[in-house]
Amino acid sequence: MAEKKTPRRRKKAFTGKGRRWWQRIPWRGVVYVLFLFSFFVFSVAMLTYVIFFRVVVAAELEKSDGAIIFEEPNRPAVIPGDLSTDTSTLEPKCAIIIDDMGYHLEIGRKLINLDEKLSFSFLPRAPHTESLEDLAFKNGHTVLLHQPMQPEDSEWDPGPGALYVDELELQEQLLLQNLSLVPHAVGVNNHMGSLYTRDKHVMGPLLQHIDRKKLFFVDSYTTAGSLGYKLAGELGVKTAKRRVFLDNVLDVEAICNQLQTLTEVALREKEAIGIAHPHPETYMALKRCLAPAGTFVDFVGVEELVR
């Protein structure tokens, strides 16, 4: 007797009925859409980076070589002279010190390569001090150590290698270390120091250290209360003082006007020292206005004006 075959059940077409909700979602499509959305967001972010960082920010960094130099506010632009010394027989002379050298590589090179006689003061631990200091020396310019000193407001950072009033025991060591980083320095002037230069208890010993190294001190006069110039005279240390800040206002025309003020002081008092900084506006102003000013006064290294 033949065995009765059990008929096979046909599989029902997969209609999705009875599946849970997440099983009914077309995951491949969702992943594809998410990929496209992520790619879009990434592209927008990259475009924003290119426009706002690589173009805008990078351009600003290029102008300053990426360096941020903090200067004390409210520095007196012009300070009174000292007519106690008879200068009536002297020819009028000007010296211009470019402070804050060592951070701004390209502008530093351009300033050093100007034909006029300038003096350059270098921050001791700046990234380009070694190369720029050597270039300035080889080009025949006067080189100084721009010694950082404590400002009155703690908001302003004088930078590495700074002298502080409550660290007198470190004064000589720091000064010698900083001088070793600016080996061609023939003098010292202060970077910031509106608090430090007003304190005779720290300025007296500092000036004696400077004198023992056979250097001179130029008082930058970042504050009208500075005692540096006066104390140096009392101690017999060769010294001079800044009369005009040329670039408190970063505008070419304003800097040229300050340069004119400097020459007027020199014509009246036979000598004057100005201080400027490595800004593009300063470079353009000196390139434009320094040579014409030289028809009225002689521009010399600052060492010629120390007494």
pLDDT in tens, 234-274: 999 999 999 999 999 999 999 999 999 999 999 999 999 99
The pLDDT of residue 92 is 96
The pLDDT of residue 44 is 62
Give per-residue pLDDT as tens, 48-82.
Answer: 544 443 333 333 333 444 344 557 777 777 776 66
Give per-residue pLDDT as tens, 5-56.
Answer: 555 555 555 455 556 666 666 767 767 777 777 777 766 665 554 444 333 3
Cβ-contact 108, 278 below 8 angstroms: yes
Computed on alpha carbons and rounded to an integer, the radius of gyration of the chain in Å comes to 33
The pLDDT of residue 150 is 98
Q: What is the domain partition of the chain in residue ranges?
A: 27-64, 93-305
Give 119's contacts (C-beta < 8 A, 6+ positions apart): 95, 96, 97, 98, 141, 142, 143, 144, 301, 302, 303
**Per-chain mean pLDDT for the chain:** 86
189: tokens are 């002037």
pTM: 0.76
Give per-residue pLDDT as tens, 86-133.
Answer: 555 568 999 999 999 999 999 999 999 998 999 999 999 999 999 999
Cβ-contact 154, 131 below 8 angstroms: no
The pLDDT of residue 53 is 37
CATH superfamily ID and name for 93-305? Glycoside hydrolase/deacetylase (3.20.20.370)
- Tell which residue, 139, 169, 164, has the closest CA to residue 151: 164
Give 223's contacts (C-beta < 8 A, 6+ positions apart): 72, 75, 76, 152, 193, 194, 197, 198
Q: How does DSSP assign 135-173, residue by residue?
A: HHHHTT-EEEEEEEE--SSTTS---TT-B-TT-GGGHHH
